[in-house]
Each structure stands twice: as structure tokens, then as C-alpha cells.
């Protein structure tokens, strides 16, 4: 076992390089004046820690009810952890403060004001974020309770914009004394499932959950089970929806399980599994460049846009090629890393190793000096001297 672990480490599977435990910057608060609602709205935003250093576009994750500090902080730390473990991609995270939850989120009882708020999110907030930050067009909405009802309606109303939704203990129904489920949102879900072509439905990601403990969730469970039955009846083989019944959880504890489960569900098609890496690095069953190109095609098909794989996916495969004296392939991946991470020293150091392997000492020194210019510490002086002596 120890020999296998040592081999995996030497091949780069466990290589984290400059990865840090904390992958999100500290939260910043900002405000927008909503022209359609004639009021000022408040938000939190957190960018990936290396946002200014990286040349790529990011998905967006939006949480409603961010005025609930425990909910926001838990979601932020969960996103942070899942990015660090490479279970979800680096993303821009925004929290939305509610002024009046019932008027803004309750589609069933306050449809006009809820639709007005939804249009503000779509037309003002999203447009502003797109103008200021590098977004790739894939947005995930997270809502709890009334927020779960709201984000579900957002997907049903604007499926082309909001293609990824996580509804936690969503108020999808208000059962009467006879436990008869009546809900406009559930009727819209039924129509959406029936009328959306498979080619479009494939790009929707809908996760919903509820607990079975306490007054609220025992009621909302009826609506969730109804929606689950609709999906099972009409989209039984689809992998684009998932319902979690969390036994023993109540209305306030469901987010603890649902947020990580929902996010990993949404990004399942993006995740680059360890077994896939091992097939290449340990068992030599696949070619890295072919695997990366195939994975990219699958990501675009699933999400409608390119979402870059983790840094290590490129680095470990470039190092694998280099270890097997395939310098042309190693150089191709190293150049991709330099294009994506132009302000990171490691890709230049990797390119220097490739040039040295090719026997091009002058270019190796050039890339090492570039690496040194990007590093905040003196890491490469000795290596440069050794090459100059060669």
C-alpha cells in the first residue's frame, strides 16, 4: 500500500502545488438601486482568491436570504471546501439580502411582487455582474424555504437563464386540512417537464430536498413527493434532477446536508474523478490530451459553456508526459497552463523543465527567469545558476 501511495504521489495525483485551503476571498458588501422596485438592495460577493491572476471565466452561485448570517457563512465555507477538494469549479459567490421575504420570494401568495423581484435579479443584478466580472453564463441559484419556491419558479420562468437550481425545504406547496396539494409552482413544474424537449432539458440541473421532522417540513414533504413523482413518471432516466428526502432533518437543519449535496450534484459532469486520473497516471489506459478534450466536450454539452478543469488536471498530465519523455505533448499542456495562469510561477517552471529535457538550455533559463518574476519568494535563483553552468 505504501509503495502504491508513493507512486501516486510521484506521478502527481496527490500534487496540490500552490493550492490553498482557502479558495474564496473575504466577503465584500455592495448595493444596487433597483429601478424597477425603487429601493436599494444589498449583497455580499466573494471572488476566487486568485481571480486577478487567472485568465478565465467563472460560474456564478447566488444564495438568497443572505441576511441570515449563519446560512450565508455556512454556504460560503461549503463552497470554499468543495472548490479546494475539486468537487466543484472555482466560482463567484453572491448573497442576496431580502427586504421582505414574503413579497419577494412567495410566488404563491405575492406573485406580482415576486415576479418583479425575479426580473430585478435577471435584468439588473445579473447584467451588472456580467459587466464587472468574468462570468461564463452558468448560474446556480440556491434558496431555502420560500427561497426554494422562488428559485424553482425562476428556473421555470427563465429556463434559458437559470439552468441550475438548488431548492432546500422549498415551500412548493401549502397543503390544506385534507392534505391536498395545491400549488401554481407544482403545476408549472408539471408543464415544464411535459413540454420541454429532451435536448433542452438535458441542460437543466434541478436539485430539491426536504426533511421529515417538524411541522414545516412534514407539510412541504407532500409537495416535494408530488414533484418527485412527476419527474419519475415523465423523466425517469434523466440524471438532471435529484430529490433528497433527509430523514430526521427539520426545516432549519436541511441546509447542512442539502447545500453540499446540491452543489456536487450540479457539478457532477464537471468533476474529474480520481479513478479517471488513475487510469492515465497509474494504469496508462488513456492518453491525457484525448481525455481532456473529451471531458471538455462533455462539459460544454452538459453546461452550455466551457468550465475549466482544476489546475492540477493539466499540471499532473504535463508532468506525466514529461516523465515519459513526451515533450511535445507536455509542452502543449504547459502552454495551456501559461495561457490560463499567466501570473503563476509554476507553469513557467514546468515549461523550463520541458525545455531542459529537450536540451534547449537557453529557453529553460528564460522560462525560469519568468517564473522567478512571478514568484513572491526567491525559489529559482539556484536552479538558474545550475542551468547557466550547464
Same fold, 17-266 and 310-390: no
The mean pLDDT of 342-368, rounded to a whole number, is 96
Supply φ then ψ for residue 31, to 5 degrees: -130, 150
CA–CA dist 331, 99 (Å, integer) = 53
**Burial tier of 388 (Cβ tally within 10 Å: 0-12, 13-18, 19+):** exposed
CA–CA dist 259, 171 (Å, integer) = 17
Architecture of domain 310-390: Alpha Horseshoe (1.25)
| Residue 21: predicted pLDDT | 52
> Where does the pLDDT of residue 9 fall: very low under 50, low under 70, confident under 90, or very high at 90 and above?
very low
Q: Dump pLDDT digits (tens) for 179-210.
A: 445 688 999 999 999 998 888 888 899 999 99
> Where does the pLDDT of residue 45 fall: very low under 50, low under 70, confident under 90, or very high at 90 and above?
very high
Architecture of domain 17-266: 3-Layer(aba) Sandwich (3.40)
The answer to whether the CB of 140 falls within 8 A of the CB of 165 is yes
For the chain, the average pLDDT equals 90
Share of the chain above pLDDT 70, in %: 92
Q: Enumerate long-range contacts of 147-150, CB under 8 Å, 24 or more apart.
A: 147/64, 147/65, 147/101, 147/105, 148/172, 148/208, 149/105, 149/106, 149/107, 149/108, 149/185, 150/64, 150/104, 150/105, 150/106, 150/107, 150/114, 150/117, 150/118
Supply φ then ψ for residue 333, to 5 degrees: -70, -35
Which among 145, 278, 130 is positioned nearest to 215, based on CA atoms?
A: 145
| Residue 171: predicted pLDDT | 92
Domains of the chain, residue spans: 17-266, 310-390
Amino acid at each position: 500500500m505504501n509503495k502504491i501511495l508513493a507512486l501516486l504521489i510521484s506521478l502527481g495525483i496527490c500534487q496540490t502545488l500552490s493550492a490553498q485551503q482557502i479558495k474564496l476571498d473575504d466577503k465584500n458588501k455592495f448595493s444596487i438601486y433597483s429601478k424597477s422596485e425603487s429601493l436599494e438592495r444589498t449583497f455580499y460577493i466573494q471572488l476566487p482568491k486568485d481571480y486577478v491572476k487567472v485568465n478565465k471565466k467563472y460560474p456564478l452561485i447566488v444564495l438568497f436570504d443572505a441576511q441570515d448570517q449563519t446560512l450565508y457563512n455556512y454556504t460560503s465555507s461549503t463552497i470554499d471546501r468543495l472548490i479546494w477538494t475539486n468537487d466543484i469549479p472555482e466560482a463567484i459567490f453572491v448573497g442576496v439580502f431580502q427586504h421582505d421575504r414574503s413579497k419577494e420570494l412567495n410566488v404563491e401568495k405575492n406573485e406580482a411582487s415576486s415576479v418583479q423581484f425575479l426580473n430585478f435579479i435577471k435584468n439588473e443584478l445579473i447584467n451588472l455582474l456580467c459587466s464587472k466580472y468574468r462570468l461564463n453564463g452558468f448560474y446556480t441559484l440556491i434558496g431555502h424555504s420560500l427561497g426554494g419556491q422562488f428559485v424553482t419558479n425562476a428556473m421555470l420562468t427563465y429556463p434559458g437563464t437559470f439552468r441550475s437550481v438548488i431548492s432546500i425545504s422549498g415551500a412548493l406547496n401549502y397543503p390544506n386540512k385534507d392534505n391536498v396539494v395545491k400549488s401554481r409552482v407544482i403545476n408549472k413544474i408539471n408543464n415544464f417537464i411535459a413540454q420541454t424537449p429532451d435536448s433542452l432539458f438535458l441542460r437543466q440541473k434541478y436539485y430539491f430536498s426536504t426533511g421529515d421532522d417538524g411541522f414545516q417540513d412534514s407539510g412541504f414533504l407532500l409537495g416535494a413527493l408530488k414533484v418527485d413523482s412527476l419527474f419519475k413518471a415523465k423523466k425517469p432516466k434523466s440524471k438532471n434532477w435529484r430529490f433528497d428526502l433527509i430523514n430526521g432533518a427539520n426545516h432549519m437543519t436541511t441546509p447542512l446536508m442539502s447545500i453540499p449535496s446540491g452543489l456536487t450534484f450540479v457539478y457532477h459532469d464537471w468533476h474529474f474523478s480520481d479513478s479517471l486520473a488513475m487510469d492515465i497516471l497509474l494504469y496508462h489506459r488513456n492518453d491525457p490530451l484525448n481525455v481532456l478534450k473529451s471531458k471538455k466536450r462533455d462539459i460544454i454539452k452538459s453546461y452550455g459553456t466551457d468550465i475549466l478543469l482544476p489546475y492540477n488536471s493539466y499540471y499532473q498530465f504535463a508532468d506525466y508526459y514529461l516523465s515519459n519523455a513526451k515533450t511535445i505533448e507536455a509542452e502543449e499542456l504547459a502552454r495551456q497552463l501559461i495561457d490560463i495562469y499567466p501570473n503563476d510561477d509554476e507553469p513557467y517552471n514546468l515549461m523550463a523543465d520541458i525545455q531542459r529535457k529537450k536540451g534547449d538550455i537557453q529557453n529553460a533559463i528564460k522560462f525560469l527567469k519568468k517564473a522567478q518574476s512571478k514568484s513572491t519568494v526567491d525559489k529559482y535563483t539556484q536552479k538558474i545558476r545550475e542551468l547557466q553552468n550547464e
